[in-house]
Structures are given as structure tokens and as C-alpha cells.
Amino acid sequence: MSGTLVLVRHGQSEWNLKNLFTGWENPGLTDKGVEEAHTAGRNLKAEGLVFDLAFTSVLDRAQRTLDIMLEELGQTDLPTTRDQALNERDYGDLTGLNKDDARKKWGEEQVHIWRRSYDVQPPGGESLRDTLARSLPYYMKAIQPHVLDGKTIIVAAHGNSLRALVMALEGLSPETILKREIATGVPIIYRLNANGTIASSQVLEH
């Protein structure tokens, strides 16, 4: 066995609560989102995890979630890398729209296709394949080598950038990953073999 990789989607944001397409916008966490981050940190501490490095996106909600978890872990000085490659999928013209309003404007079927297809882009935005095309190479180059070196790494990011990593780690098909929900503030722990495959995985529910 090699190292440990923990993936955490940010806690609930104000726009998650309002059912808006968020993308690269920067809403803060709700009170629930803050509590989710605290709970995630406490759960990780209860597992006895001590991290060597942290990675997150350039968006506030992921960074705040990471900061809260590290407070709970007593690791506020942990070396942290922030990179746009881990940002949420860019929803383009859908950004800021209520999902129900988007359905009224473009039709239920079209919005469903944009949200739940692998390679169809919303107007001016990214598909899941586009998101994977930036987040996966970053993972392979910047994150995985540390894990394979035996380190314990935490990544605080977003539903779709983490979907891309889960897809690659678990060898999932485009169809399967689209059905995979990644809950806010719930850590996924992967213990990897020396070749990068999964030795074990665990979801730390609240």
C-alpha cells in the first residue's frame, strides 16, 4: 500500500441552497455548510488522519471548507496549493440562474442534457469532459506523485472537479460517473496501492 488521498466537496454554499448554477462564482458557505465542514474535520480527526499537504481550488467556498477542516484537525499551518484546475465546472450562460428558471427558458430535456451528459457544453461553458481535461492532468502531475510517495493528502474542491478524479481513480465509465453524487462536506478516503490503484475506500458520512 502507498499513501492516502482524501477528497472533500465544499460544504453547502448559499447558491446550492438557492438551487442556482454556481460554476466559477464565489458565494459563501451557509451555516449548514460551515457545520458540514466542522463535522468533516472532526470525523477525519477521529480517523486519526494527519495530512502532509492540501490542495484546493481558487474559489472561496472550497478554501473556507478546507480552512475549517484544518482548524478541527489542528493543522492550520498545513502547506496548501490553490489551483484553478480544481475549480468547479464552468456553467457559462447558466451561471447564476435558478435551475427551475433555466428549465423554463431552455426546456427540461435540454437542461438535463447539459447537467447530466458527459460531453455536451452549456452555452459558453464546460462539459464534464472539459472539466476532466483540466483537473485530471493536474491530479496526475501535482497530487498523485505525493500519494504514491506514501504521503497523506487532502483535496477540497467541487462536485464536478472531484467527479473527474473519482472517475479516473475508480475506472468509471462516462455514464456511471454522471449518476455518482458527491455530497457536500462528506470526505471520501482512498488508500492507494503503489501503482495508483485503490487498495480501499471509505465514505465518512456525517
Q: Which of 196, 189, 184, 192 is nearest to 160 (CA)?
A: 184
Catalytic residues: 10, 88
Here the cell at position 32 is 449548514
Ramachandran quadrant class, 118 (left: phi over 0; alpha: psi -120 to 50; beta: rest)? alpha
Classify the C-alpha dihedral 141-143-147-149 as positive or negative: positive
Here the cell at position 166 is 473519482
Strands 152-157 and 53-56: parallel
Here the cell at position 98 is 435558478
Q: Which of 56, 110, 120, 119 is nearest to 88 (CA)?
A: 56
Distance from C-alpha of 4 to C-alpha of 154, rounded to nearest angstrom: 8
The three-class DSSP label of residue 63 is: helix
Phi, psi of 78 (to 5 degrees): -65, 130
